[in-house]
Amino acid sequence: MLVWQFLCVVGVAFVILEIFTPSMFFLNFALASFITSAISFYVVNKFYLVLVFFVLSFLSFAFLRPILLRKSSKDTETGINSKYIGQVVKAVEDISSSTGVINIYGERWDARCEGENVIPAGSEVKILRNDGLIMFVEKV
């Protein structure tokens, strides 16, 4: 087996490991393997190829990994926040601080109102926030 083929197989193995452990750890080694594989067409000495692999792995850890981790861990709004918060919907059942149901786009959702007041069924309510699958509403 030629050196470039071996490095490509190692790179694919690192990609597979990254799929099963999504921590942006093995992706750095995979990238270094593929680049070293391309360099192996021009450099025959295996010592230099190992050195290139380690240098590329280090550079990838130092510069690429922080960028990838920052992009993957951004605090973005969930689909619930962006889709439902601020919507005005109808109350299906009376809504209190402990029970209630609203109808959003044909779906039934548990709802709660903050405070001691009760919102009667059929009233229009505005969704303020959610806590898991429970929507907190106020009367419009």
pTM (two decimals): 0.51
Which structural domain, as residue segments, surrounds residue 113?
A: 79-139
Identify which has the larger pLDDT, 125 or 70: 125
Q: Cβ–Cβ contacts within 10 Å for residue 95, how many?
A: 27
Whether residues 65 and 9 share a domain: the answer is yes
φ, ψ at 122 (rounded to 5°): 90, -10
What is the C-alpha to C-alpha distance for residues 57 and 14, in angstroms, rounded to an integer? 12
Q: Is 137 helix (H, G, I), strand (E, B) or coil?
A: strand
pLDDT(8) > 60: yes
Whether residues 9 and 67 share a domain: the answer is yes
Share of the chain above pLDDT 90, in %: 54
pLDDT at 124 (0 to 100): 92
CA 29 to chain centre: 22
**Residue at a domain's end among 40, 72, 104:** 72
Closest CA to 31 of 71, 59, 51: 59
- Give the β-pairing of 107-113 and 134-139: parallel
pLDDT digits (tens, 9 = 90+) for 70-121: 766 554 455 555 678 888 999 999 999 899 999 988 889 999 998 778 999 9
C-alpha distances in angstroms, 69 versus 3, 30, 42?
Answer: 31, 16, 33
Q: How many residues in total does the chain contain?
A: 140
CATH number (domain holding residue 127): 2.40.50.140
Count how many domains the chain has.
2
List alpha helices for 24-64, DSSP H.
26-39, 46-59
Identify which has the larger pLDDT, 47 or 24: 47
Share of the chain above pLDDT 70, in %: 91
